[in-house]
Amino acid sequence: MRLSETKIIERLESIGVQYAPLVLVSVEKELTVADGLRADAIIRFRISDGPSFDALAEITCLASPKNVRTKSMQVLDLARRADNPRLIPLLVAPYVPPKQADALEEAGVSWLDLSGNMVIRVSDRIYIERTGRPNQFPDTTPIRKVFQGTASLVARALLLKPGGFASLSELVDFINSRNASIALSTASKVLSSLEEDLLVLKEGSRIQAIDPPKLLDRLAEGYASSTRTPRLSTYRFAVENVDRVLQDFRSMPGTAYVFCGFYAAELKGLAASTQVTMYVRDMARFQEVSARLPSNLLPDEEFGQLSITERKDQTPWFNAQTINGVPVVDDIELYLEMMTDTPRGPKVAAALRSRILGKVASG
């Protein structure tokens, strides 16, 4: 649940020993500090058996990178223009993640969160640092897994089209025209989350990736997280003639299967593979169709050269390429697969990363 600014202040007023030796003395809300400008609050603190000090506080319901940057600029500007030059700039939030804490330190803004973390600096007189306590207020409002499943298609599309999109509708149409489907409402929620993380810039209706390398890294993190709990069914088959099997596959509908893993890397000229690896949407349907082909697929979990994984999600088929007459996962999907396929995969991933980001830079 996301707390309102009013609720944050109410909880702040009741802070207890978890912030010791810091003691809250008083809170004045919506106070004019200079030239009609208002601060969210002026808070008086004291140190147990020590000095007191006043803080000019800005409150944020969510310490996202965007909010932290905006609020830092606001509170620093207010502190500079305040009639009381001894006010220290302070950000208060339900929880401040470590990366945002680093940004606040770099900006010279003290901070305190309701989860029990804080960094308070008052010139050379007072310094308190307490970090590492977990988030007591996880945000459930936006789509949380924006780098997994259907939601990840938004980030993938932004990497594929570095020039950006003229509108949300154009972005959705781009995705939906490449063997995938995403709702306008879902894409909108994902973009809002990416914008909060300073990964996407929205100017009017235009949408563009700000930091493609970081966007690719976040996709890799999301993909790795989604694969930690095995949920996929994989089957291995022995075949007498791999080339004949591949020839037979060419007669099947292209949307029924897609080559992946090291075999896809081989087709792209990036690796060699003794295994043929592929995804299918529906294993039962695939076996029904393949049974009518001349090739004979014999189940062999130990020595089978053909490895088939059933994937119910649509991400492997998004933007799939055709190489030698067969469908192959695109560079981004293969990069994500290779990053988790140790020990050989990361070397292939490095080459793919250069290719993906090289296209972004030249685009």
DSSP string, 70-86: HHHHHHHHHHHH-S-TT
Strands of the chain, DSSP E: 22-34, 37-47, 52-59, 88-93, 110-113, 118-122, 126-130, 200-203, 206-209, 233-238, 257-259, 276-280, 298-299, 306-310, 321-323, 326-328
Residue 17 pLDDT level (bands cut at 50, 70, 90): confident
User: Cis omega (within 30 of 0) on the bond before 138?
Assistant: no
The pairing of beta strand 206-209 with beta strand 200-203: antiparallel
- Greatest distance between any 2 Cα atoms in the chain: 87
Residue 161 confidence (pLDDT): 94
Q: Where are the domains of the chain?
A: 5-130, 149-210, 233-329
More confident residue, 73 or 291: 73
- Whole-structure pTM value: 0.74
Average pLDDT of 135-164? 86
Smallest Cα–Cα separation from 259: which of 271, 269, 246, 272?
246
Checking if the pLDDT of 281 tops 80, the result is: yes
Residue 140 confidence (pLDDT): 55
CA 209, chain centre distance (Å): 13
Residue 346 confidence (pLDDT): 96
Average pLDDT of 224-237? 83
Average pLDDT of 250-260? 79
Checking if the pLDDT of 54 tops 70, the result is: yes
- In three-state secondary structure terms, 46 is strand
Give the span between the Cα atoms of 246 and 244, in whole angstroms.
5
Fold classification of 149-210 (topology level) = Arc Repressor Mutant, subunit A (1.10.10)
**Which residue pairs from 291-298 have beta carbons closer than 8 angstroms and sit at least 24 positions apart in sequence?**
293/248, 293/249, 293/251, 293/252, 294/244, 294/248, 295/239, 295/240, 295/241, 295/244, 295/245, 295/248, 296/239, 296/240, 297/237, 297/238, 297/239, 297/245, 298/237, 298/238, 298/239
- Percent of the chain predicted with pLDDT > 70: 96
Checking if the pLDDT of 360 tops 70, the result is: no
Residue 230 confidence (pLDDT): 66
More confident residue, 287 or 46: 46
Residue 266 confidence (pLDDT): 96
Cite the DSSP H helix spans in 197-282. 212-227, 242-249, 261-267
Checking if the pLDDT of 26 tops 90, the result is: yes
Average pLDDT of 49-66? 92
- Domain 5-130, CATH 3.40.1760 — does that match? no
Per-residue pLDDT reduced to its tens digit, 201-223: 988 889 999 999 999 999 999 99
Residue 144 confidence (pLDDT): 61
Please indicate whether the domains covering 5-130 and 149-210 agree at the CATH topology level: no
Average pLDDT of 176-182? 96
Per-residue pLDDT reduced to its tens digit, 103-121: 999 999 999 999 999 999 9
Helix axes 98-107, 65-81, angle to 10 degrees: 30
Residue 241 confidence (pLDDT): 83
- In three-state secondary structure terms, 150 is helix
More confident residue, 316 or 228: 316
Residue 18 confidence (pLDDT): 78
Checking if the pLDDT of 143 tops 80, the result is: no
